[in-house]
Amino acid sequence: MAGALAAGMVAAAVLLRAPVAVPSAGVLIGGVLSLALGLVDDRKPMRPLGKLIGQLAAALFLVAWGTADGFVASHPALAAAAVVGVVALLNAINFLDAMDGLVSALVPIAGLAFVAIALLYGADVDLAVAWGIVGAAAGFLVYNAPPAKIFLGDAGSHLLGFVLAALALRALDGAATWPHIAGVIAILSYPLFDVIFVVTMRLSERRAVHVGGVDHTTHRLGRICGRWGTLGVVSLVSVLGAACGTWIWGLENEAIAMAAVSCLGLGYAIFGRWLGRVRPTYGFDT
C-alpha cells in the first residue's frame, strides 16, 4: 500500500500535472510511524496502551509539523482537538477493516471528495497525495473485494487513516471555518460513525472498548445484506457523506452549514439506533 501510494503520487504528477511537493517532516515521520506501528501489531498484537501511545505520537508529529501555515498548531485548543481527531480517524479506519473491501472502497470516495474541494473551491489540498490515495486504494480493491485475495492488515489501515487525516488537516490549516470543519466531518462521516457506534454499544453493555469484536455497523449490516450488499450500502452512504461534505465546504453561511451537518448527524443517529437492534453476523473477520 505504501509503495502504491508513492507510485500513485508520481502518476498523478505525470498524467494529471498535479503539483508534487516534498512532504513535510510531520507527514513523513507520522506516516512512517503509523506504518511501523501497524507492522508491529500485525506481527505480534500490541497492548492497547502501547498502540494508543504510538497513535498519539503520529498525531502529534502531524499536527505540530505536518502543515506549512501552522494555523492549527498555533492554537492550543484547535491543536488538541486535531490530535484527538487524528487518533480517532486512525482507529476508525482500523475498526472498519473488519470485512473484505470496505476500507479500500471507502478511502477512494473520501479521497475524491478532497480532490473535489480543491478543484471546486481552491482548498489547500495536496492533490498528488489525494489522487495517490485514490489510485492506491482503488487498485487494492480489485484484489480486496469479497472474497479477498490480499488484506490491508493494521499496517495498511493505519497508513490509509493517517493519510486521510493529513489531507483533512492540510485542507483546514488556515481555513478552519465552521463550514470547512463541517465539510471535513461529513466527508469522513462513515468511519467516524462506526467508531462512535462501537464505543457507545460496548460502553452501554459494559464491555472493554479496546477488545475486538463482531459488533460493528458492518457486521450488523452483513446479517441483512450479506458481504456484497454491505459493501454496497457502506459505499452508497459514504458517497452521500462525501457529496454532502463537498457541498457544505462551499457554503458561506455558517448557520446553514451547521444545520446541514446536524441533519447528517441525525440521520446517522437514526441509522445507528436501528442497527443497534440488529444482531451481528458472527462469521466475519474482526
Q: What is the arithmetic mean of pLDDT over 139-144? A: 94
Of 8 and 244, more confident: 244
In this structure, is the dihedral angle defined by the CA atoms of residues 264, 197, 157 and 143, taken in order, positive or negative?
negative
Question: What φ, ψ does residue 261 adopt, rounded to 5°?
Answer: -70, -30
Computed over every residue of the chain, the mean pLDDT equals: 89
Q: What is the arithmetic mean of pLDDT over 107-136? A: 93
Output the pLDDT for position 114. Answer: 97
Q: Which stretches within the chain are classed as H helix?
A: 2-15, 25-43, 48-65, 76-96, 102-121, 127-144, 153-172, 178-187, 189-204, 217-249, 254-275
- Whether the per-residue pLDDT at 18 is higher than 70: the answer is no
Output the pLDDT for position 181. Answer: 93
Output the pLDDT for position 223. Answer: 86
- Whether the per-residue pLDDT at 286 is higher than 50: the answer is no
Q: pLDDT per residue over 206-240, tens digit each? A: 877 767 677 889 889 988 888 899 999 999 999 99
Q: pLDDT per residue over 177-202, tens digit each? A: 999 999 999 999 999 999 899 889 88
- Whether the per-residue pLDDT at 283 is higher than 60: the answer is no
Residues written for the chain: 286
Q: Which of 231, 226, 219, 264 shows the shortest CA–CA distance to 245?
A: 264
Element (DSSP H or E) covering residue 122: none
Of 237 and 49, more confident: 237
Of 175 and 108, more confident: 108
- Per domain, the residue ranges of the chain are 2-275
Q: pLDDT per residue over 65-77, tens digit each? A: 887 677 788 888 8
Q: pLDDT per residue over 242-253, tens digit each? A: 999 999 999 999
